[in-house]
Amino acid sequence: MDTLIPPPDSIPVHWFWFQALLVVTFILHLILMNLMLGGSLLLIWDNVIKRRKPVGESNLPILVALTINLGVPPLLFVQVLYGHLFYSSSVILAVPWIVVIPILILAYYGSYVYCKNIDRAPLWSRLGIIISSLFLLYVGFMLVNNSTLALSPARWTVQLDRPGGMNLNLGEPSLWPRYLHFVLAAISVAALGYAIYAKYVVRDEQEKEEIIKRNLKRFAWFTLIQFGIGVWFWLSNPKDVWMTFMGESLIATILMVVSLLLSASMIFTAFRSKLNATLVHLLLIIVIMVVMREYLRAAWLKNVFSPASLESTGRASSFIAFLLIFLAGIYILYYMYRIATNKNDKS
């Protein structure tokens, strides 16, 4: 089996730099992804089934575009640290994986069709958001397939028997609970996002209060369901993996306990309609969960690979160039934001 794992490439600087950037960029992408996917699913329920007035629907295409673009940095850092594993799993499920690109384009177009036809062509609008949501669910499913397969080199022998690039990782016990865990979390976060949007954008006080309370209740109930899905997901991992969070690793165990306590407190504040407190809880939990995700990956690969084993060339010029461009990009975004807000103030 070891012969199936290609050797990793060397990296220009110490691996921890890339690990830190992976965590930071994935946190940002995860927040947007939850708002995008969960928001699309809630729009189907509210505007297609319940026929409620849309909330913030004009921002959906922008959200899809931002999520896709902000998904590139963490994907690149995964390839830097785990490229020899990630590329191998990508080849094994090559066909459904490469289809992700046109599917994302169609998902963006579906969100655009939805927004532009809400009033003039309601049927097309509903079809647009349904198709867009289904495509986004497909993309998420492929990402979970790829990420779980990259952690399981022992399963790569399937490529020798079926070399057609159609090998989904459906035999992995943690696949479905992991996928449902992300989908339900997306709905929860999007519900809170709608509540925050209503607080700062909706002008009618009665409507604002109704939207905030409804979405905070949604957030609380979906988070409660997450406990059950989370237990399923946890136990679907190999015992030596989940035992990492049950005492084998002190830091991982502390993170687990803190996340559970924060989650319980967050549900309480959500049911009490405490919007700001719920938001603070959520942001802390997202950071903790992303760090825990890296501990989970390390536990899966404990006997296979560790980024700490990567050879550093000590040639930091390319990394410095990246950081400079990255900081310049942040400044440009800030500058564009200032221009946009100044124009709005003048108008």
Domain that holds residue 152: 12-170
What is the structure's pLDDT at 326?
77
What is the structure's pLDDT at 178?
95
Residue 11, classed as helix, strand or coil, is strand
The per-residue pLDDT for range 234-277, each reduced to its tens digit, is 889 998 898 999 988 999 999 999 999 999 999 999 999 999 99
Residue 267 and residue 251 in one domain: yes
Residue 94 and residue 204 in one domain: no
Residue 143 and residue 191 in one domain: no
Q: Is residue 277 part of a domain?
A: yes
CA angle 125, 128, 134 (to 5 degrees): 145
Q: Is residue 332 part of a domain?
A: no
**Domain total for the chain?**
2
**Cα 7 to the chain's mean position, in Å?**
28
What is the structure's pLDDT at 345?
47
Residue 194 and residue 293 in one domain: yes
148-152's contacts with Cβ under 8 Å and 24+ in sequence apart are 148/172, 148/174, 148/175, 148/178, 149/89, 149/92, 149/93, 150/82, 150/85, 150/86, 150/88, 150/89, 151/85, 151/297, 151/300, 151/301, 152/300
Distances (CA, A) of 240 to 67, 117, 229, 250, 302: 34, 52, 20, 15, 10
Q: How far apart are CA 273 and CA 174, in angstroms?
A: 34
DSSP state of 56: S
Q: Is residue 92 part of a domain?
A: yes
What is the structure's pLDDT at 49?
67
Residue 85 and residue 190 in one domain: no
Which two structure tokens, joined as six digits, stand for 162? 């079926």
Q: Is residue 343 part of a domain?
A: no
Which residues, in sequence order, are bridge partners of residue 11? 312
Residue 141 and residue 42 in one domain: yes
Residue 31 and residue 165 in one domain: yes
Beta-carbon contacts of 294 under 8 Å, excluding residues fewer than 6 positions away, are 19, 22, 23
Q: How far apart are CA 126 and CA 185, in angstroms?
A: 23
Residue 295 and residue 255 in one domain: yes
| CA-closest candidate to residue 211, choices 62, 58, 59, 56 | 56
Q: How far apart are CA 328 and CA 330, in angstroms?
A: 5
Q: Is residue 111 part of a domain?
A: yes
Phi, psi of 312 (to 5 degrees): -100, 130
What is the structure's pLDDT at 162?
82
Residue 73 and residue 217 in one domain: no
Q: Is residue 335 part of a domain?
A: no
Residue 312, classed as helix, strand or coil, is strand
Residue 137 and residue 231 in one domain: no
What is the structure's pLDDT at 274?
95
What is the structure's pLDDT at 225?
93
Radius of gyration for the alpha carbons in the chain, expressed in angstroms and rounded: 21
Residues 173/242, Cβ–Cβ less than 8 Å: no
Residue 17 and residue 165 in one domain: yes
What is the structure's pLDDT at 301?
95
What is the structure's pLDDT at 52?
66
Q: Is residue 138 part of a domain?
A: yes
Q: Is residue 69 part of a domain?
A: yes
Residue 17 and residue 156 in one domain: yes
Q: Determine the angle formed by the axes of helices 60-70 and 100-116, rounding to 10 degrees.
A: 160
Q: What is the mean pLDDT of each run of 10 residues along the chain (347 residues)?
A: 77 93 94 93 80 69 85 91 94 94 93 82 85 95 95 87 86 94 94 91 85 93 92 91 91 95 96 95 96 96 93 87 82 70 51
DSSP state of 27: H
